[in-house]
Structure 1
């Protein structure tokens, strides 16, 4: 007995010594580690990574950017069935322990001692996991574990249990780039937290253990096992009853990848916004939860998308079928499942669905699609598919389906408006379209190519293409500023210039139709897009003068060649630059700056940036005063002393008074803008742009453009509220093909966009500025005609031009002789 008591006494001494030594060891460890521990106070105002959101003007989601999917929540948004699922899975005693689970730690110590491995299960509470997630590295060391324990105590002392659990739920990784429970619920189930079933709550609660290898998308069997474990723990702990358990266990998992619900497709816009966000907000722009509202008008963007894609598909079909995207040899009797495997690497592009031809006969082909559907193509479905020969030639119309397709062809199909399958192909041609407000430059719609995933090059902003005849209005504006009028007569006749860069040493510009009309008024010359008139006009006013003048419309001197080819639109510009230039004419002479970002808010909804663009703002008090002064400056004879405030590269204004808008600089006379616009209204009414009259509006003006060898097709046009430019061409500068003018290739895009953009907009006539008058002129000579002359027509003039012409009727003829003569 004495021996037994002695053993017990020694055991007690030994135990106490161990406790004392352990405490001393912990004290020393804390003394050594504590100075290096971070302050847990930062957790009270933690800034989690939240992706950047890009919205349209009406708040519809266009894109999200960032490395993580995350939707921060607080505990008031977490239903009890989800909260207790997480606690049951991770830390049953969370609401009662002081931050660590002593029993769990002792078990972990025992396993480390007996196995010799540092990688053992157990021992980490939710609080410890929060400490690790926010402050520590994932390395497995004793020092890191002790730091985790000490931090857990500090966290428990600084935060409430609900605050700690909220941090855990927001920070934890749930697989598939989903960080945080709310992002996981949206990604796997497309639901908010309050919409989750008990089974779905248990599934999500199980994911932090094995987020990549145990989620229901990557490994459903393992995920279901983990779900069952969590439900069992909830039942054992009394968080659910038997009926709820049975129902949840029987529930079929409905998870699949729910990508962010993009409501407006505008990837080219979104990428522009992403780049500007980084410039404005720095490298953390994509992870700090900013919300950017753009100027994009959702219906306008949708119309631009559809118009461009439809027009490019129509162009592509006009030029024939280029053949299957690929071909594989298939044996007779091959199963549909095997055929589907052959198209795994192909993705649907703008409604053009990939498929493989399973069987083909004279009157029908069966195309197996990736989703198990079968598309039946009859002769009508392939009759457009005349073989492509070159840009201007096609082969014969097919008489049999098997002339076009053969078994094993990987092709595209699409549904027409009646729901019938049709053979399709992805266009090789590209296009771009941009629409903006001439009032302040707000971009209403922008698309930079047929499909962003196939080509991220933004042709609306990054391209430099010759503008063709769509550049002529700027030359005509320079001429009006130089003394010409819409009634001025120029000779449309052949021209020859020496040019050492050409094989024969001569440059012989010509009209698109190859015809010459002789003496012709400027109005008719623009309506018919006469190239030779533009060249003579440019030569008459001077190349240097015109080169400087066109920079007023926002073009740089480097974009515009300083030679006579400028008259034919050889300036290398983007559709956005063209739209900006046309906006000067649409708004009465003011240079605006196109912009996309209207507002930026931080993660808390506080607006930190609001756009303040320069505006034409005709009804602004300061603008009205300026225009009143301009009217006062009109001399008694009607002449104007207008001097442009700014040019293309100096769109600065006098600082506005507090609360006043920033006024865009006036760069051309309002009367000049009105006269050129009146010419372009006739281009739409009865000229090369007459196709736009399908819109049945009288307030449209515009100009087509086609470059040499049909490499580029353009149409730019506007009313007083919207300016839009459309372009079509090949990225490699190949020819679009014979007769592919701007009116045929680009104008349909513009019409499709404007039909939607102007649908609810009443016609708004262009306001005639002071100093403009009308007079009757002879339709042949352009000179003033006597009253009652049956051959006379009404023409618009600056007031002083009519007065001068009436005083000296031979003046105009003399001044125009240089431009009229063949030189």
Structure 2
């Protein structure tokens, strides 16, 4: 043979020889298996003579000249053939060549096939044949399992869940992928051309698979042995991104080719290109060209320059390596290459090309910062969306409008943070968050330590670098330095017990030390001052009493510091803030604000070890209900519950939406020994604020899908908005503008009126007099303090807001003596309500029908004709002309005090009736 590539396999040659011998036998009509030895030798001799004839074929020459090369034993000559006859008797060997049918004309298809595969083309043909068979099998097996490409017509791109306040302020965004889908008609031609230039310049010419590119990729693989080129067209990338994995295997590539051909038959080129531009990844969680333009250049697509379009087109090939933010040099090189391709393809002219090359790149991350900081509310929305729509809710592009008002939410956060810092400062400096050895540290080293500190809004981490008698120098990071004066450090004290009021002050020189990691905050003068992250926690929630809409909610100092939402998820004892519900039960069963109860020790069975006392450890004797609630007298309240009956009280209190956890069995219930969350307590107080209707707090106003269709609109049961309070010169009516869905009225409006009057007394002359600084007669509320000052509450309302404030330690530590609801929590409540009511007119209540005004002697609690008496309103059906025992009158009411209680308190004294 002339070349290595045309050599035949030895086994193939031997097989061919066998065929030829068999053919020769057939031509002579001889049955080889019946021949004797002599005849067999004669035939072999003639065959050998034929092989030695000068007209034998080329491949026979090769075999005869090199038997070993042919992979067979040398053919025997006539002289070597075994024979029993003497040599002189041997038949002469004919020199005439054996006549055979021409090889160019096989006698059958099978013969032609055998001859062809025995030729010089056998090896390539076998490879091609095997490849064809393998491909056929692969297509037959794979094709039925391929996904239905029709689903590409209805692709739902993953978009983040976005949360907005009621006034449209952006609050938060949830989801791994940032995306802004755009229609192809809204993508400028320049942007499309940039992607075609770098990804697939023949996109509109091929049918999904580019033969030129595929050949180039195969050649590269044969030369290098690595799969460095995928020859992926835009159509193939769409197929891979939606249906396949990015692994580089031949099986995946063949599957990709099959799917791509199907995609090209199903969709138009424009549809494929639109899918591509909206699906590709650009780094930093940005998917799609719309999101990429906003992220890197903060521009809409139609404002991108040629240089910016080329920069964006270069990112998808390697989002990390070609990123203009993380690797600007590599990205710039890639941009310039694409600009060159755009010029070669005629997409841009020479002037544009040169101008774009010279243009500096100004790419930066332009993430949309929240316009409203409301992490706790946003997290509530996220959890609720997942609860109703499943885990996919955060990637379906839902737009949720919450009920919170951005101004009120900001005021609530500031009020809570101010209250917690104020408390923390009253109880001294606890020391630095960490102490570091900064000797030899560079600014970069200090920056690393500062960046590791938890980010708390308004409280900047800083490192003390120098301390003098006049103050301290601090490093704030990023090269910023400042000085803290002695006045800014003078409040710092040693750590002390939380229950103590005072502690030794530290001088300015030893308040901090070099290497201390501290917190600083801007003061009113704009200078930095020493502060600390409060150890105490707090919560504040404010709802609309008409329908329960949450207008502001804060679950802690900062959502970045702790995700635990104390406004909703916390359960704490409400203390005396629970008393109004027991008092309302008494009013509904015949007691009046002027009824007398004795503020004396309660006689309990000997087996009871509970020994309740008043906060001041004093007993006032018989006092009116108004005084008992205003001064938050524990003993008077217990005696009232004992007279009313625990079962009767619980039946009534359930109307406010409270469950068993809020109403433990026993007289301690009136002292707030159950457990409630701030938002649940606000739900109860809303019944008083709206005239007796039970509304359920809610925080989602509207939900829209990715296409802007409203899929949910809140329509909660509501109270009559103008049937209770009147504002300005207007007047409340019993009709008013009623909502489409009326909430259930659970208590008599007259009881709500009386309770509002009693709670106003708390502000005027009781435990909440600090609220008088607001100078508004329309605010009412009740303080609450639990044993050992572990919880401080204030729950109150006005015509438009029911607000509950709480302060305490998460570990149930003591707040300290004097840190009750009238101080720790009320300050927070007042700060919020001051801002919330800044533009609201004074609201007053009209007297509901069925209440009668009487004048009462404040000392004796009896009706009097004296002008020195105080005015009270009592329910009409409970008034009689005759003076009789109040219990008897109360018994004539519907239900009356429970007779099942073994009453040890004195009988209620009330001579009004």
TM-score by shorter chain over 0.5: yes
Contact 1:469 1:703 in 2 (8 A): yes
The offset of 1:366, in angstroms, is: 0.9
Superimposed CA distance per residue, residues 743-780 of structure 1 (whole angstroms, 9 cap, x where no aligned partner): 21111222222223223322222232211121101011
- Counterpart of 1:424 (choices 519, 531, 540) is 531
Q: Distance in 2 between matches of 1:354 and 1:42?
A: 52
| Further displaced range: 717-726 or 197-206 | 197-206
Contact 1:548 1:557 in 2 (8 A): no
Superimposed CA distance per residue, residues 336-357 of structure 1 (whole angstroms, 9 cap, x where no aligned partner): 3333333231143021000110
**Secondary structure of the corresponding residue to residue 579 of structure 1:** helix
1:466: which partner in 2?
Answer: 573
1:648: which partner in 2?
Answer: none
The offset of 1:310, in angstroms, is: 1.2
Aligned pairs for 1:253-272 (under 5 A) are 253-272=361-380
Contact 2:520 2:528 in 1 (8 A): yes
Contact 1:203 1:226 in 2 (8 A): yes
- Counterpart of 2:261 (choices 153, 168, 179) is 153
Q: Distance in 2 between matches of 1:588 and 1:660?
A: 15
Superimposed CA distance per residue, residues 642-679 of structure 1 (whole angstroms, 9 cap, x where no aligned partner): xxxxxxxxxxxxxxxxx983322222111111111110
The offset of 1:270, in angstroms, is: 1.5
The offset of 1:257, in angstroms, is: 3.5
Q: TM-score, length-normalised on structure 2? A: 0.79
1:800: which partner in 2?
Answer: 877
Superimposed CA distance per residue, residues 455-483 of structure 1 (whole angstroms, 9 cap, x where no aligned partner): 11111111111101111100100111221
Q: Distance in 1 between matches of 2:311 and 2:508?
A: 51
Q: Distance in 1 between matches of 2:660 and 2:502?
A: 46
- Counterpart of 2:554 (choices 439, 447, 453) is 447
1:745: which partner in 2?
Answer: 824
1:625: which partner in 2?
Answer: none
Distance 1:347 1:245, change over 3 A: farther
1:188: which partner in 2?
Answer: 296
Distance 1:430 1:130, change over 3 A: same
| Further displaced range: 594-603 or 386-395 | 386-395
Superimposed CA distance per residue, residues 82-141 of structure 1 (whole angstroms, 9 cap, x where no aligned partner): 222222221122233332221110011122233333x22141111110011112222323
Q: Distance in 2 between matches of 1:589 and 1:91?
A: 70
2:144: which partner in 1?
Answer: 35
**Secondary structure of the corresponding residue to residue 402 of structure 1:** coil
The offset of 1:798, in angstroms, is: 0.9
1:639: which partner in 2?
Answer: none
Contact 1:386 1:395 in 2 (8 A): no
1:676: which partner in 2?
Answer: 755
**Secondary structure of the corresponding residue to residue 242 of structure 2:** helix
1:736: which partner in 2?
Answer: 815
Contact 1:363 1:400 in 2 (8 A): no
Q: TM-score, length-normalised on structure 1? A: 0.87
Instruction: Say whether 1:87 aligns with 2:201.
Output: no
1:559: which partner in 2?
Answer: 662
Contact 2:455 2:560 in 1 (8 A): no
Contact 2:493 2:506 in 1 (8 A): no
1:348: which partner in 2?
Answer: 455
2:522: which partner in 1?
Answer: 415
Q: Distance in 2 between matches of 1:71 and 1:225?
A: 27
The offset of 1:792, in angstroms, is: 0.7
Aligned pairs for 1:374-523 (under 5 A) are 374-393=481-500, 398=505, 400-495=507-602, 497=604, 506-523=609-626
Contact 1:414 1:421 in 2 (8 A): yes
Q: Distance in 1 between matches of 2:606 and 2:575?
A: 20
CA RMSD of aligned residues (A): 2.9
Q: Distance in 1 between matches of 2:846 and 2:132?
A: 89
**Secondary structure of the corresponding residue to residue 509 of structure 2:** helix
Contact 1:784 1:809 in 2 (8 A): no
| Further displaced range: 476-485 or 83-92 | 83-92
Instruction: Say whether 1:777 aligns with 2:856.
Output: yes
Superimposed CA distance per residue, residues 671-708 of structure 1 (whole angstroms, 9 cap, x where no aligned partner): 11111111001212332222222322221111111111
The offset of 1:577, in angstroms, is: 0.7
Q: Distance in 1 between matches of 2:603 and 2:432?
A: 47
Distance 1:376 1:244, change over 3 A: farther
**Secondary structure of the corresponding residue to residue 401 of structure 1:** coil
2:786: which partner in 1?
Answer: 707
Gaps of 5+ in 1: 1-9, 621-630, 632-658
Q: Larger relative CO (CA 8 A, sep 6+): 1 or 2?
A: 1
Contact 1:467 1:706 in 2 (8 A): yes
Q: Distance in 2 between matches of 1:292 and 1:76?
A: 28
Distance 1:498 1:371, change over 3 A: farther
Aligned pairs for 1:198-217 (under 5 A) are 198-217=306-325
| Further displaced range: 558-567 or 394-403 | 394-403
1:306: which partner in 2?
Answer: 414
| Further displaced range: 92-101 or 451-460 | 92-101
**Secondary structure of the corresponding residue to residue 483 of structure 1:** coil
Instruction: Say whether 1:791 aligns with 2:868.
Output: yes
Q: Distance in 2 between matches of 1:400 and 1:710?
A: 30
Q: Distance in 1 between matches of 2:289 and 2:356?
A: 19
**Secondary structure of the corresponding residue to residue 389 of structure 1:** coil
**Secondary structure of the corresponding residue to residue 209 of structure 1:** coil
2:98: which partner in 1?
Answer: none
1:110: which partner in 2?
Answer: 219
| Further displaced range: 357-366 or 741-750 | 741-750
**Secondary structure of the corresponding residue to residue 254 of structure 2:** helix
Gaps of 5+ in 2: 1-118, 724-733, 891-896, 898-902, 909-913
The offset of 1:812, in angstroms, is: 6.5
Q: Distance in 2 between matches of 1:54 and 1:435?
A: 19
The offset of 1:818, in angstroms, is: 6.5
Q: Distance in 2 between matches of 1:671 and 1:98?
A: 80
**Secondary structure of the corresponding residue to residue 110 of structure 1:** helix
Q: Distance in 2 between matches of 1:670 and 1:82?
A: 67
Q: Distance in 1 between matches of 2:145 and 2:645?
A: 76
Contact 1:773 1:799 in 2 (8 A): yes
Distance 1:396 1:612, change over 3 A: closer
Instruction: Say whether 1:608 aligns with 2:711.
Output: yes
Contact 2:454 2:560 in 1 (8 A): no
1:120: which partner in 2?
Answer: 228
Q: Distance in 1 between matches of 2:857 and 2:632?
A: 21
Q: Distance in 1 between matches of 2:163 and 2:338?
A: 37
**Secondary structure of the corresponding residue to residue 138 of structure 1:** coil
Superimposed CA distance per residue, residues 468-507 of structure 1 (whole angstroms, 9 cap, x where no aligned partner): 111110010011122110001122234454575xxxx743
**Secondary structure of the corresponding residue to residue 509 of structure 1:** coil
2:154: which partner in 1?
Answer: 45
Q: State the structure with more CA Rg.
A: 2
The offset of 1:203, in angstroms, is: 2.3
Contact 1:387 1:395 in 2 (8 A): no
**Secondary structure of the corresponding residue to residue 650 of structure 2:** helix
Superimposed CA distance per residue, residues 608-648 of structure 1 (whole angstroms, 9 cap, x where no aligned partner): 2222212223679xxxxxxxxxx9xxxxxxxxxxxxxxxxx
Q: Distance in 1 between matches of 2:619 and 2:563?
A: 43
1:139: which partner in 2?
Answer: 247
| Matched length | 766
| Further displaced range: 369-378 or 225-234 | 225-234
Q: Distance in 2 between matches of 1:408 and 1:18?
A: 75
**Secondary structure of the corresponding residue to residue 179 of structure 2:** coil
Aligned pairs for 1:570-649 (under 5 A) are 570-617=673-720
Q: Distance in 2 between matches of 1:134 and 1:165?
A: 13
The offset of 1:303, in angstroms, is: 1.2
**Secondary structure of the corresponding residue to residue 765 of structure 1:** strand
Q: Distance in 1 between matches of 2:603 and 2:295?
A: 67
**Secondary structure of the corresponding residue to residue 358 of structure 1:** strand
The offset of 1:814, in angstroms, is: 9.0
2:384: which partner in 1?
Answer: 276
Distance 1:17 1:323, change over 3 A: closer
**Secondary structure of the corresponding residue to residue 265 of structure 2:** helix
| Further displaced range: 689-698 or 446-455 | 689-698
**Secondary structure of the corresponding residue to residue 191 of structure 1:** coil
Distance 1:24 1:811, change over 3 A: closer
Q: Distance in 1 between matches of 2:598 and 2:856?
A: 18
2:65: which partner in 1?
Answer: none
